[in-house]
Amino acid sequence: MDIRQLTYFVSTYEHNSFSAAAKECCVTVQTISKAISNLEQDLNNELLFVRKNNGVIPTEFGRAFYPKAVDALKSFDSAASYIDEYHEQRQPHEVLTIKLCVPDFPRSRSICVNINKLLQVVTRDIKVETQIATFPQGIKALDSLEADMLVTLGEPDTNAYDVVRVGVMPTAVVVTENHPSLKREYVTREDLESFPVIYANDFDMDRSGSIVNMYKSGGYDLHLHKPKNPFSFAFTLFKDKAMCLVIGIPAIVPEGLGLVMKQIDPNDMLPVPICLITRKGSKPQGYKAVETFLLNDGLMKGFSSFK
């Protein structure tokens, strides 16, 4: 039994005629007749039609079999449509969508535009769209083919995707402008282990490779605080003298909010890996250009050259 036989059977049933079915299916009457006979043999020699001079009449078995055949054809069409859509989505894109997995800070949209411009030079005819996302949002977009690749600050612990380390960035802390640590040249390990450190649920979950998790894995005894909302985040920074571990790029610090970036002592600072994540075995058009861009400190340039 095959789809072709079911198609011919349904057409014959609906027209009560081999010749009408042949016309609809663009084949000969002999082809329809032979396909129906073969199908009847596959069905333990159950007759589907009674043949008459002026057409055919479905048997009781034929009438019972008809809705099953219709459902089978619908399922096949649905599967075929999905396969076509899936392969179409996986074809080289005219637009290369990159999810940048970093917290959504005030200047993030402008920095994404800046990164797009820098990448456009190396990807040439492929339009680049860089968007801010949490790590879970990025993975969901990658799985649904809404994104072509992720760029993460930190190396996720996963074997489900291709993860390529393409560089490192320095880390620093953001604190209030009256924070006690500002009295010294650098923030020290002792400071990191003395003051509360902000833990963001969307970025610092286990196995995410985030900056916070990197310091924890490096043996730092951090006192983590998990704000429930932006108000709680600000309250913790100002009232509890908390620190927020970030990449060491001053452009990410919003102006006019009483916050400053403080460098970590080079002897205590852990650089965070920059990683490029794609689906297993799937490399979108423009991938090599983006990889080369990042290997040449492109992300750092995207942040640092922001005005």
Instruction: Give the pLDDT score at 307.
Output: 45
Contact 131, 100 (CB under 8 A): yes
Instruction: Write out residues in the chain with pLDDT < 70, as ranges.
Output: 80-93, 105-106, 230-231, 297-307
In a domain, 197, yes or no: yes
Run of H or E including 22: helix 18-25
Q: Give φ, ψ of 58 to 5 degrees.
A: -65, 140
Instruction: Give the pLDDT score at 221.
Output: 95
In a domain, 268, yes or no: no
For the chain, how many helices (H) and strands (E)?
11, 12
Read off the tokens for 101: 């997995």
Instruction: Give the pLDDT score at 306.
Output: 46
Instruction: Give the pLDDT score at 84.
Output: 57
User: Whose CA is closest to 123, among 166, 93, 102?
Assistant: 93
Run of H or E including 69: helix 60-90
Strands 171-176 and 259-263: antiparallel
Report how many domains make up the chain: 3
The predicted-structure confidence for 39-65, as pLDDT tens digits, reads as follows 899 888 889 999 988 889 999 998 999
Say whether both 30 and 56 belong to one domain.
yes
Q: What are the helix (H) ranges across 169-276?
A: 189-192, 211-217, 230-239
Instruction: Give the pLDDT score at 156.
Output: 85
Say whether both 80 and 214 belong to one domain.
no
Quote the CA–CA distance of 175 and 180 in Å, as a whole number.
9
Of 50, 73, 90, the residue that ends a domain is 90
Say whether both 175 and 162 belong to one domain.
no
Instruction: Give the pLDDT score at 303.
Output: 56
Instruction: Give the pLDDT score at 89.
Output: 57
In a domain, 227, yes or no: yes
Instruction: Give the pLDDT score at 62.
Output: 87
Quote the CA–CA distance of 104 and 124 in Å, as a whole number.
28
Say whether both 126 and 249 belong to one domain.
no
- The CATH number assigned to the domain holding 232 equals 3.40.190.10
In a domain, 239, yes or no: yes
- The CATH number assigned to the domain holding 56 equals 1.10.10.10
Identify the domain containing residue 293 by its residue range: 95-166+273-304
The C-alpha angle with vertex 133 and arms to 131 and 139, in degrees rounded to 5, equals: 110
Quote the CA–CA distance of 137 and 140 in Å, as a whole number.
5
Say whether both 149 and 184 belong to one domain.
no
Contact 291, 215 (CB under 8 A): no
Quote the CA–CA distance of 197 and 20 in Å, as a whole number.
76
Say whether both 160 and 294 belong to one domain.
yes
Say whether both 155 and 280 belong to one domain.
yes
Question: What are 277's strand-pairing partners?
Answer: 150, 163
Instruction: Give the pLDDT score at 83.
Output: 67
Quote the distance between the C-alpha of residue 171 and its chain's center.
26
Say whether both 156 and 202 belong to one domain.
no
Say whether both 242 and 186 belong to one domain.
yes
Of 90, 122, 138, the residue that ends a domain is 90
Instruction: Give the pLDDT score at 222.
Output: 92
Instruction: Give the pLDDT score at 230.
Output: 66
Instruction: Give the pLDDT score at 106.
Output: 67
Say whether both 66 and 132 belong to one domain.
no
Quote the CA–CA distance of 174 and 179 in Å, as a whole number.
10
Instruction: Give the pLDDT score at 192.
Output: 94
In a domain, 24, yes or no: yes
Question: 240 in the Ramachandran plot: left (φ > 0), alpha (ψ -120 to 50) or beta?
Answer: alpha
Quote the CA–CA distance of 84 and 116 in Å, as a whole number.
30
Question: What are 197's strand-pairing partners?
Answer: 224, 243
